[in-house]
Structure 1
Amino acid sequence: MESNKKYWKGIEELNRTPEFVEKNKHEFAEPIPIEEILSGDGLKSKTPRRDFLKALGFGVGAVSLAACQKVPVHKSIPYLIKPEEITPGLANFYVSSYEGSAILVKTREGRPIKIEGNPNDFFGKGGTSAGVQASVLDLYDSSRLKNPLQDGSESGWSQIDSFVKGQLAGIKAGGKKIRIVSSSINSPSTLAVIADFITQYPTAKHINYDAVSYTGIIQANQNSFGKAVLPHYNFDKADIIVSFDADFLGSWISHTEFSRQYMANRAAKALEEKKMSRHIQFESGMSITGSNADVRMPLKPSEEGLAIISLYNALSATTLPGSKKVSDANTDKAITLVAKELLSAKGRALVVSGSNDVATQVLINAINSLLGSYGTTIDLDNPSLQYAGNDAEFVEFANEVKRGEVDAVFFLNANPVYDFYAAKDFTTALAKVKLKVSFAPYNDETAALCNVVAPNSHYLESWGDENAVAGYYTIVQPTINPVYDTRQAEQSLLKWSDNPVKEYYTYIRNNWDKNLLPIAGLSGQSGWETLLQTGFVKAPAKAAGVYTFNRDLNAVAQTILTHSTQVAASGSQLELQIFESPNIGDGKKANNPWLQELPDPVSKVTWDNFAAMSITTAKKIGVEQGDYITITANGYSVDLPVLLQPGQAQGTISVAVGYGRTKAGKVGDKVGQNAYPFHTFRNGTFQTAVAADIKKTGALKYIFAQTQTHHSYEGRSVIHEGTLAQYVKSPASIVGKGEGKENYDLWDEYERPAYNWVMAIDLNACTGCGSCVVACTAENNVPVVGRDEVRNRREMHWIRIDRYYSFNDNGKNVTKEDEIDKLQDLDHVSVTYQPMLCQHCDHAPCETVCPVLATTHSSEGLNQMTYNRCVGTRYCANNCPYKVRRFNWFNYWNDSRFENYVQNEYTELVLNPDVTTRFRGVMEKCSMCVQRIQSGKLKAKLEKRSLKDGEIKMACQQSCPTNAIVFGNLNDPTSEVAKALKSERTYYVLEELNVKPGIGYQAKVRNTTELGA
């Protein structure tokens, strides 16, 4: 039984546009003309590759000879005295912490090359985000400052110290204000250093400023319960989750932790018991969270408050004054049905909102109080400390600067000249400040206006600690000496305040010895060494209290209604929603090429932000995909290309912040446009929605560097899914299992006496986050190719996350022949993610066509690549039905055209020496991290024991926060992968081709009811 539901990857595939049809006639992008190669351009290609080689005077023999030459990785410097802990060829792992999560840092010959999650970490339990995986690359970024700067020129630390201390002494004597502006700090030692600095300079004040703010939630909890905290949410304790524009799987608060929690009630173990939680999402733009929801309802930003008021009315059986229904009848009906489901799950329900409006969050608190969520799904007694920004305090600081009251300001991990909504006025006012110091590692937008830039060290070069949730303390330790002449900001503050403790390491030791090690019953040097092996200490959690909401909500409702009126579009306007990209975040990571080239989970766009718009809205205003529009609001305008996004609420556009940097570095500069000035400051917080004027510019259409529709499965079905009710009734029905056809093999089966390496991927657990993509890039030396080569369909990722749309059908399959009102249905689509990598087929079609045996099958079930045999015929890629092979058009690591992305003497230090860097003219693809397999087998052999299940983990598997990927030996019937592949949901992609793939997928299940699928 095969599903007849239609899946499609993008608008162009759905509509079979001429461009899509023409592109899919060709397996590869045409080669680059020789004249463009010699000129250094190389964007569009017409000359066949064979002619290109002839033009350069190369025959096949010369290419083969060149292919045998190894690319130098980095300059070797022999050890005069070998460090005791380093053995050449063997990796060392060190515990550390990144943004409060305990991690493991893999080093080779003294250089960090890979980040892994600490299996015992409170947040990820070994899983990580794409940002964590990419953070190691920043260490070797040649755009980082090499030395401190004074008045724009390089200086020495002694001169900087003398100048700053002299200035501070004069300011202290004059009694003028000193301000330390930082993003949220949860490090107990850093906060203590700042407190000591303020003691030395009593006019100083510390201000927490977050470009992406959560002040609304913190202040709402202060107003509601007298606790100014960011709650710790427990999605794993919720049977019903309702979210209003909170992208908790993509970018909201603690998304890696929330992803793990969310899947605890939705993936393998829960489904084995034939149950799963239920998730309803209301949002304007299609987010990674909305795409994973069981039910998703498009909702304008101006109607979010109305919907929350309606939900409260339905739950409380009251009517708040001024209440209005949302304009869409289906959404209004959905709210009524959602209220019934929430009431039936009291104590096991959770309602969240991504709004930064205090009144909106107060009403969310009232709803959760009605549902008995406090003490179960919401914990105010063990709060999150990840964000502590106070918007009103920062705005008052900006006013102080404008009035000329501040004589010194220190910026620590804060860049308000770029990301403050009133940055233009702030920049002008900053000239009045006598001493301006930035600790930025780059000469960023704010640092460029400072007298002094005292570059902070990378976290992998630093000592530190973090406390991201109450009671959980992690240690940061250096894994390499500073690559450049940088110094930790804490060390600078100690020097400038004449602290009696001269070294920050000693300061941390003292703090831990006195306050933190006793939490775990540790003390002294032995306790410190234990900490450096475990990575954290955790105090017993406090009992989560039950909180009752008893405030009058009439004024709250009126504030929400006023806010809704202020953001509602009128006339030809559209409602603009600003959001945080799951990849680039708030913009601090904009100079990381691994993250820039990581496709956006939903749109699959790389290297850009854009104006996402529904097809219906685009038709009304007369624009098409790629058309430039001018967006104007708050006295600010930008030109952005339009991207037609299924699921986008009509009458709205969504734009990501984090782009439009001008001083990020050579990777991040001038990528996209800055959307921060569209923020507004209302009711004490930064607001992310505004009514905007839209005008088509008439400029030439923009071509996005999208990865989604580079190839086609020729209409074959690769996704299997169903509802929970269908799965409970008949598991076989959702995977299309019925009477199969008999298959005939043309050759003998391979014998696998010891190992048969296979993989299982659970589509129910995959959120599409892309952490696995970056982890694979780091582990396997996958090159970055840049925007233009992605446009040419030449991205090199070994694993991709395919995103499929399907029409909502209220539980009924929509046949391909049905007449569908696409304009209406494109506002209500379902999304399914599918990680796709080399399937390591037993009957691999690539192996039979390779003329030089460059790709062969191992006795352990792996499809192998021998790079120096490959002559680049590309027959294997042409014959691969999964389109997972990548052809090297260039020597990416050494070609000057790619220097903005990868090529410099420092970046090559991140390369994994266990994996060959591939050269131009060869094929590459997933190897199932064969280097990890060999290392695990060797370790077991040296220890004279058999290999244990789970001892070998693929890079993609290890990084996944939801355990969507399982790898192991199928010959071991007790292995986790063997059990996973026996699941009733297991199917194999394109199984009908009889290529016998080595990766089994578990079908997607949605918990849908009468609200629709």
Structure 2
Amino acid sequence: MDSNKKYWKGLEELNKTPEFVEKNKHEFAEPIPIEEVLSGAGLSSKTPRRDFLKALGFGVGAVTLAACQKVPVHKSIPYLIKPEEVTPGVANYYSSTFEGSAILVKTREGRPIKVEGNPNDLLSKGGLSAHAQASVLDLYDGGRVKDPMLNGSDAGWAQVDTFVKNELAAIKGAGKGIRLISSTVHSPSTLAVIADFVAAYPTAKHINYDAVSYTGIIQANQNSFGKAVLPHYNFDKADVIVSFGADFLGTWISGEEFTRQYVQNRNNKSLESKKMSRHIQFETGMSLTGTNADVRIPVKPSEEGLALINLYNAISGTSLPGSKPLANATVDKAIMIAAKELQAAKGKALVVAGSNDVATQILVNAINSMLGSYGTTIDLDNPSHQYAGNDAELVEFINEAKRGEVGAVFFMDANPAYNFYANADLKEALKKVRLKVTFADHADETSELCNVLAPNHHYLESWGDDNAVEGYYTIMQPTINPVYNTRQAEQSLLLWSDSPVKDYYTYVRNNWDKNLLAKGGLAGQSGWETLLQNGFIKVADAAAGTYTFNQDLNAVAQTILNQSSKLAEGNKMELQIYQTVAMRDGKRANNPWLQELPDPVSKVTWDNFAAMAPADIKKLGYNQGDLVKVEANGYSINLPVLLQPGQAQGTVSVAVGYGRSKGGAVVEGGIGQNAFPFHSFRNGTFQTSSPATITALGDTYLLAQTQTHHSYEGRNVIREASFKEYVKNPSVNSGNEGEHKKYSLWDEYERPAYNWVMAIDLNACTGCGACVVACNAENNIPVVGKLEVSRRREMHWIRIDRYYSFNEEGKEITEEREIDKLENFDNVSVVHQPMLCQHCDHAPCETVCPVLATVHSAEGLNHMAYNRCIGTRYCANNCPFKVRRFNWFNYWNDSRFDNYLNNEHTQLVLNPDVTTRFRGVMEKCSMCIQRIQAGKLHAKMEKRPLKDGEVKVACQQTCSANAIIFGNVNDPESEVAKALKSERTYYVLEELNVQPGIGYQVKVRNTSSELQA
């Protein structure tokens, strides 16, 4: 049965624009003349590709020395004395931690090449974000600072140590203040080092500063309950979730952890028990979380506070002073319905807000208290330590420095010269500070203002620990010797404070022996070794208490109303700044894997933009790509316009994390514009919304988007159903009421041992893109640059297709459905669909290859023999899924191109189990055949059958939502066999008789207001 919705990838497809039609006529672009290629035109980004990327130049010597001590591997030579822990061709795994999550680091011949989640990790159970997957590439970034610097020149560590200690002694004697400014520190050992440093210099103070702040939530909890903490949220315990601008599946606090929790009430297991949570999202711009919501309501920033007041009134039965209906009647009606659903789910309800305003968060606390959320869906007694920034303290530091009260400042993992909103004030203040030290690993914007650059190790070179959530402690251990002449920031602080312990490893070990090992029931050397093997310890949770809110809300409501009126003043647009999943706060903007990761919603790469509602763009006479000047808070930037369905009318959204001027050759090539100065400091916190003026500049700008390249010509590739429909008929829209007939021109053959297939649950996939970066790292997939992406030449083997659809129309509007009924492009829903080679049993690519470069295996896989491929591209033309990728250039190997992929240093991140491909070769998903073979070999060596779950493909392993399941369908007890038996299973384009090897599960949305038991 076909879905009754029409799906479209973007407005260009919906409207059949001439450009889109023309592109689809000529889907396979003509080659660029070699003269253009050699001149750089064929690969250039904003600047010629050779100049843009060769500046990333890397040298092999440092890394090979780090990996192999004194034996750089320039040739294939045997070990004369083999290191005990290294066996050529066999991977070693080390436990470590990334931003508080337990991870496993895969090394080959002494060099880290891949990061995986620890399956026992408390936060994501083995899932990892795109940032974690991409972090290994940063280790091999030739733009890292290679030696300490003093007053802009290279210096030795002894020289730097002498200078800093002398300066500190003089500053201490003068009684001037010393400030250590860092992003949130949740490492117990690092906090202990900082405490020792402060003890040695009593005028010192530690300031936590987060570029993207959660001070509003922390201060609101202090005001409401006397606990200045960031709560630990439990989305898995919530039957009804109402979010006001909190992108909790993407960038808000702990996206991977919340994703894992969220899907537990929406995946196969939950649906089969006829249970599904209900999620309503109020937000300005279309976020990753908004695309996954059951119901999404666009609201302006000025309407968000009023909507929360009305929600409080509806739940409490009272009326706060100044309360009034919103001008947007749709939002008002949605609030009333949301209030009823939340009340019906008391004890299993959760309201969250992404605002950093203290008053707004206090009101959210009051609502959650009425709903009985504390002790169930919100835990204040086992809080998160992931963010502890205090915005007011950084502002006060600047005032102190301006008054000449600060003699020294240290920046640890903090870059306020880029991401602090009052950049000019910071620079002026630092002129009056005598000693300025940064521990940056790149020469970033803040390092330009410092007289000492003491470069920190990469985390894969470091010892350390983390305590992201109360009671959960993870350990960090080095997986390679330091590549450059760097030193851990903690060790520098130990030396400069004359600590009796000079070595940071010893300090960490002592701290664990004295304070932490016993918490995990461990002790001594054996306990330490157990910790290094397991990667973490977990202390029993404290009992989560209930908290009653009894604060007077009159002043709180008035503060919210005042702010709302200021945002809505005049006829200005309302500006909202936000984080993208790929760039976040811009800390890792120099990572090309992340720059080329398509944004989950807009599918833009290598840029930020001004997202506006199609109705506003039409009214103003703009077109996509038109350059506009966005002006707010006395700051302006020029950005291209992007038409964003679902964007609240009268608003514009701009992502932070772009516009870096220093920090590596990628960002210094000029990528996007810096939106951090649009922040404002109001009521003690940094605020992300402001009135803005938009002015057309009369010019255009190329945005490199994926997913506008081809069309399924209206075929039914997305299938979804409402939860009500699913409960009545689990096979709804799956097509399982009557199977398609299968025909074959060939004899069938047996697959007695293995038949490798995959199941993808559209209800679990959030579209985050972590699988894309994991696949890049595992399979040596090259980055091609902005212009090549715009030419439809991205090389990703797996893509996440994003489909818009209008919500159903023509039905009787009841109160139940009014919340879903909007007009224009406000009323859209989104489905994400991972799309990769389907490994069809009747693969249309195989029949047209003249050289048998693509063939079918006896285990159900579609193989590529790269050395046979002659580049006819017949297979890509014949593939209905458009998942094959053609190497237009030798991105990895051609010596004519001086780019960052063609150098010895970056190639040390390559997986030696996967060949790199040459120009003129077609490539595509191999289902990580190297992992399959390794698993089979391991089982054979142990003389046993391969067990289900022993082989996980890269995309599957990184997925926190467990949306991708891979395995042997011949085993009826395998997870994939059970998943494919679901009534929701369907196969994309199965009507073509290609017999895909990947089954999808129908997307189910809980659009009914009726709560399920």
For the aligned pair, the TM-score class normalised by the smaller chain equals over 0.9
Q: Amino acid of the residue matched to residue 116 of structure 1?
A: E
Return the alpha-carbon distance in structure 1 between the equivalents of residues 419 and 916 of structure 2.
38
Aligned to 1:847: 846
The answer to whether 1:625 aligns with 2:627 is no
Q: Assess, with a 3 A threshold, how the Cα gap between structure 1 residues 326 and 79 changes in structure 2: closer, same or farther.
A: farther
Q: Assess, with a 3 A threshold, how the Cα gap between structure 1 residues 508 and 1010 changes in structure 2: closer, same or farther.
A: closer
Alignment of 1:957-976 (within 5 A): 957-976=956-975
Q: Amino acid of the residue matched to residue 517 of structure 1?
A: L
Alignment of 1:197-212 (within 5 A): 197-212=197-212
- Spell out, residue by residue over 1:470-513, the C-alpha distance to the aligned partner (whole angstroms, 9 max, x if none): 01000000000011111000010001111001100000000000
Q: Assess, with a 3 A threshold, how the Cα gap between structure 1 residues 79 and 152 changes in structure 2: closer, same or farther.
A: farther
Q: Assess, with a 3 A threshold, how the Cα gap between structure 1 residues 811 and 587 changes in structure 2: closer, same or farther.
A: farther
Return the alpha-carbon distance in structure 2 between the equivalents of residues 73 and 527 of structure 1.
36
Q: Contact 2:38–2:896 at 8 Å: present in 1 too?
A: no
Q: Amino acid of the residue matched to residue 103 of structure 2?
A: I
Alignment of 1:35-114 (within 5 A): 35-42=35-42, 79-114=79-114
Return the alpha-carbon distance in structure 2 between the equivalents of residues 634 and 272 of structure 1.
52
Return the alpha-carbon distance in structure 2 between the equivalents of residues 745 and 246 of structure 1.
51
Return the alpha-carbon distance in structure 2 between the equivalents of residues 717 and 651 of structure 1.
34
Aligned to 2:289: 289
Return the alpha-carbon distance in structure 2 between the equivalents of residues 273 and 468 of structure 1.
33
The answer to whether 1:455 aligns with 2:455 is yes
Alignment of 1:586-601 (within 5 A): 586-601=585-600
* Count of matched residue pairs: 978
- Spell out, residue by residue over 1:259-289, the C-alpha distance to the aligned partner (whole angstroms, 9 max, x if none): 0000000111101112100000000000000
Q: Contact 1:337–1:1011 at 8 Å: present in 2 too?
A: no
Q: Assess, with a 3 A threshold, how the Cα gap between structure 1 residues 74 and 24 changes in structure 2: closer, same or farther.
A: farther
Q: Assess, with a 3 A threshold, how the Cα gap between structure 1 residues 907 and 360 changes in structure 2: closer, same or farther.
A: same
Q: Amino acid of the residue matched to residue 218 of structure 1?
A: I
Q: Contact 2:886–2:920 at 8 Å: present in 1 too?
A: yes
Indicate the SS of the match to 2:368: helix
Aligned to 2:320: 320
Alignment of 1:733-748 (within 5 A): 733-748=732-747
The answer to whether 1:362 aligns with 2:366 is no
Indicate the SS of the match to 1:1000: strand
Return the alpha-carbon distance in structure 1 between the equivalents of residues 99 and 17 of structure 2.
44
Listed as ranges, the gaps of 5+ residues in structure 1 are 46-71, 815-821
Q: Assess, with a 3 A threshold, how the Cα gap between structure 1 residues 26 and 840 changes in structure 2: closer, same or farther.
A: same
Q: Assess, with a 3 A threshold, how the Cα gap between structure 1 residues 718 and 812 changes in structure 2: closer, same or farther.
A: farther
Indicate the SS of the match to 1:107: strand
- Shift of residue 443, structure 1, vs aligned partner: 0.4
Q: Assess, with a 3 A threshold, how the Cα gap between structure 1 residues 677 and 897 changes in structure 2: closer, same or farther.
A: farther
Identity %: 75
Q: Assess, with a 3 A threshold, how the Cα gap between structure 1 residues 438 and 898 changes in structure 2: closer, same or farther.
A: farther
Alignment of 1:502-901 (within 5 A): 502-571=502-571, 573-669=572-668, 670-699=670-699, 701-809=700-808, 824-895=823-894, 901=900
- Spell out, residue by residue over 1:32-56, the C-alpha distance to the aligned partner (whole angstroms, 9 max, x if none): 12331131211599xxxxxxxxxxx
Q: Contact 1:215–1:389 at 8 Å: present in 2 too?
A: yes
Q: Assess, with a 3 A threshold, how the Cα gap between structure 1 residues 418 and 987 changes in structure 2: closer, same or farther.
A: same
Indicate the SS of the match to 2:665: coil
Return the alpha-carbon distance in structure 2 between the equivalents of residues 406 and 943 of structure 1.
65
Q: Assess, with a 3 A threshold, how the Cα gap between structure 1 residues 329 and 166 changes in structure 2: closer, same or farther.
A: same
Return the alpha-carbon distance in structure 2 between the equivalents of residues 206 and 419 of structure 1.
19
Indicate the SS of the match to 1:552: coil
Runs of 4+ more than 6 Å apart: none
Q: Amino acid of the residue matched to residue 871 of structure 1?
A: I
Indicate the SS of the match to 2:186: coil
Alignment of 1:74-473 (within 5 A): 79-473=79-473
- Shift of residue 893, structure 1, vs aligned partner: 1.6
Return the alpha-carbon distance in structure 2 between the equivalents of residues 78 and 489 of structure 1.
37
Moved more, 843-852 or 895-904: 895-904
Return the alpha-carbon distance in structure 1 between the equivalents of residues 78 and 233 of structure 2.
51
Indicate the SS of the match to 1:693: strand
Indicate the SS of the match to 2:667: coil
Listed as ranges, the gaps of 5+ residues in structure 2 are 46-71, 814-820
- Spell out, residue by residue over 1:831-886, the C-alpha distance to the aligned partner (whole angstroms, 9 max, x if none): 00000000000000000000000000000000000000000000000000000000
Q: Contact 1:723–1:811 at 8 Å: present in 2 too?
A: no
- Shift of residue 906, structure 1, vs aligned partner: 1.5
Return the alpha-carbon distance in structure 2 between the equivalents of residues 201 and 941 of structure 1.
61
Q: Amino acid of the residue matched to residue 605 of structure 1?
A: V
The answer to whether 1:494 aligns with 2:494 is yes
Return the alpha-carbon distance in structure 2 between the equivalents of residues 166 and 622 of structure 1.
63
- Shift of residue 428, structure 1, vs aligned partner: 2.3
- Shift of residue 433, structure 1, vs aligned partner: 1.0
- Spell out, residue by residue over 1:298-349, the C-alpha distance to the aligned partner (whole angstroms, 9 max, x if none): 0000110000000000000000000122221111111001100000000000
- Spell out, residue by residue over 1:934-984, the C-alpha distance to the aligned partner (whole angstroms, 9 max, x if none): 000000000000110011000000000000000000111111000000000
Q: Amino acid of the residue matched to residue 480 of structure 1?
A: I
Aligned to 2:68: none
Aligned to 2:51: none
Return the alpha-carbon distance in structure 2 between the equivalents of residues 464 and 374 of structure 1.
33
- Shift of residue 733, structure 1, vs aligned partner: 2.2
Q: Amino acid of the residue matched to residue 606 of structure 1?
A: T
Q: Contact 2:284–2:648 at 8 Å: present in 1 too?
A: yes
Q: Contact 1:74–1:905 at 8 Å: present in 2 too?
A: no
Moved more, 703-712 or 844-853: 703-712
- Shift of residue 824, structure 1, vs aligned partner: 3.2
Return the alpha-carbon distance in structure 2 between the equivalents of residues 521 and 143 of structure 1.
43
Indicate the SS of the match to 1:731: coil
Indicate the SS of the match to 1:418: helix
- Shift of residue 898, structure 1, vs aligned partner: 6.6
- Spell out, residue by residue over 1:90-110, the C-alpha distance to the aligned partner (whole angstroms, 9 max, x if none): 000000000000000000000
Q: Amino acid of the residue matched to residue 788 of structure 2?
A: E
Return the alpha-carbon distance in structure 2 between the equivalents of residues 342 and 488 of structure 1.
49
Return the alpha-carbon distance in structure 1 between the equivalents of residues 900 and 587 of structure 2.
17
Indicate the SS of the match to 1:847: helix
Aligned to 1:943: 942
Return the alpha-carbon distance in structure 2 between the equivalents of residues 200 and 900 of structure 1.
48
Aligned to 2:66: none
Return the alpha-carbon distance in structure 2 between the equivalents of residues 836 and 13 of structure 1.
18
Return the alpha-carbon distance in structure 1 between the equivalents of residues 414 and 391 of structure 2.
13
User: What's the C-alpha RMSD, in Å, of the aligned pairs?
Assistant: 1.8
Q: Assess, with a 3 A threshold, how the Cα gap between structure 1 residues 19 and 439 changes in structure 2: closer, same or farther.
A: same
Q: Amino acid of the residue matched to residue 155 of structure 1?
A: A
Return the alpha-carbon distance in structure 1 between the equivalents of residues 993 and 625 of structure 2.
40
Q: Amino acid of the residue matched to residue 453 of structure 2?
A: V
- Shift of residue 897, structure 1, vs aligned partner: 8.2
- Shift of residue 895, structure 1, vs aligned partner: 4.5
Return the alpha-carbon distance in structure 2 between the equivalents of residues 82 and 301 of structure 1.
62
- Spell out, residue by residue over 1:344-372, the C-alpha distance to the aligned partner (whole angstroms, 9 max, x if none): 00000000000000000000000000000
- Shift of residue 4, structure 1, vs aligned partner: 3.0
Aligned to 1:482: 482
Q: Amino acid of the residue matched to residue 828 of structure 1?
A: N
Return the alpha-carbon distance in structure 2 between the equivalents of residues 847 and 234 of structure 1.
48
Return the alpha-carbon distance in structure 2 between the equivalents of residues 318 and 361 of structure 1.
19
Return the alpha-carbon distance in structure 1 between the equivalents of residues 217 and 76 of structure 2.
52
- Spell out, residue by residue over 1:421-470, the C-alpha distance to the aligned partner (whole angstroms, 9 max, x if none): 00122112211111110000000000111101000000000000000000
Return the alpha-carbon distance in structure 1 between the equivalents of residues 581 and 75 of structure 2.
36
Return the alpha-carbon distance in structure 2 between the equivalents of residues 11 and 992 of structure 1.
27
Return the alpha-carbon distance in structure 1 between the equivalents of residues 300 and 282 of structure 2.
9
Q: Contact 2:736–2:983 at 8 Å: present in 1 too?
A: no
Indicate the SS of the match to 1:266: coil
- Shift of residue 621, structure 1, vs aligned partner: 1.8
Aligned to 1:51: none
